[in-house]
A = this chain, B = another copy of it.
């Protein structure tokens, strides 16, 4: 183990985009379903989702955390996991991730998930909140706001809910895609769109006008804005969430930090945007866990155009706490291997490598979110 490896292993991470871990026991089929990001369907009977890069990485790296040998068979893994129970499993994975700060999106399916405080107790780290804009709109709809009051109510609620938050997040990727007009709508349009949406039940927000309104309300609030880009559940259209579609929007909001999340397979495009716009940052979050051993290649590709002050670490873990741990482990492994090779070949100095590790692991996030 080189000194650089030791440094990478020891650096406390800021996981700048993460969700809660499950608080309830799962069936195995559910667990396997959560190892598949793209499909909401059951895993077909002729396959197991353990037979994937993520599944292999779970068996390789998570099994030892549960006292099993590396590469333990899926059945044994499942048996041991059940035996230990959700509380112990969660404490182990969150505690061993080496994360000092979790920046938590609390807006998605929170019923059976740890909240900000639960993450803190289970992990021993600090947790900070990010407010999901579309969830906030849907919350207002459930409270019977009127179309005429929607804009003010949204702004007031955003202001209140972000009092102790460190950022906001939009999932317009899932609702409209990026290839639409992303300018701020006129007030009259907002009234009209809100009335229409609320009249139709105010369920899942996919109205373009209200989503654009939410985005610009968040920009006006001034907190760092996270945007889901690239891979995700197939109710998005991957082609339409290429972050390059955001160039006009990014040109229009130079004063607020924007964080492009995940980005895979558009992480090179994201790196370009992070060079081209002083306020744009990015991560390769979700892509790390889901590509397993190949995350080394994805991480290496993410160190091309973007200045080193513009990339952050995240796991985008949601649900199984394996993901909170594995994201950190695979990122450390990828960075140690990639930077280690550059140092060994004489392209980077070791001191520089350590400095870039610290920036991406921690310091960039601390600066952006003012932790």
Contact = CB atoms under 8 A, between A and B. Distances in A.
B238 A239 contact: no
A41 B359 CA distance: 22
Interface stretch (A117-125, A187-195, A305-313, A320-328): A305-313
Given A38-B305, A51-B359, A234 B276 contact: yes
Interface string A6-47: 000000000000000000000000000000111101111011
A342 B293 contact: yes
Contacts of A203: none
A277 interface: yes
Given A234-B247, A265-B269, A352-B71, A41 B308 contact: no
Interface string A37-62: 11101111011010111011100100
Contacts of A294: 300-301, 303-304
A231 B272 contact: yes
A352 B36 contact: no
Interface stretch (A94-102, A129-137, A343-351): A343-351
A102 B173 CA distance: 41
A167 to B, nearest CB: 17
A245 B239 contact: yes
Contact of A300 (B297, B304, B345): B297
Given A38-B305, A278-B39, A290-B305, A238 B247 contact: yes
Contact of A275 (B39, B57, B278, B298): B39
A69 to B, nearest CB: 10
Contact of A238 (B238, B244, B308, B351): B244
A236 to B, nearest CB: 9
Contacts of A234: 247, 251, 276-277
Interface in A53-77: 53, 55-57, 60, 70-71
Nearest to A356: B51
Given A60-B347, A293-B342, A300-B294, A307 B272 contact: no
Q: Which of A43, A305, A342, A348 has the most CB of B within 10 A?
A: A305
A265 B36 CA distance: 23
Copies of this chain, how many?
3
A247 B251 contact: no
A237 B244 contact: yes
A277 B261 CA distance: 23
Contacts of A60: 346-349
Contact of A308 (B44, B51, B57, B244): B51
A60 B233 CA distance: 43
Interface of A: 36-39, 41-44, 46-47, 49, 51-53, 55-57, 60, 70-71, 231, 233-234, 237-239, 242, 244-245, 247, 251, 254, 264-265, 268-269, 272-273, 275-278, 290-294, 297-298, 300-301, 303-310, 342, 345-349, 351-352, 355-356, 359, 367
Given A37-B275, A237-B244, 4 more contacts: A41-B277, A53-B303, A71-B348, A293-B348
20 contacts: A36-B307, A37-B275, A38-B276, A38-B277, A41-B254, A44-B278, A47-B309, A52-B307, A53-B304, A53-B305, A56-B347, A60-B346, A60-B349, A70-B349, A71-B351, A234-B251, A238-B247, A264-B268, A265-B269, A293-B347
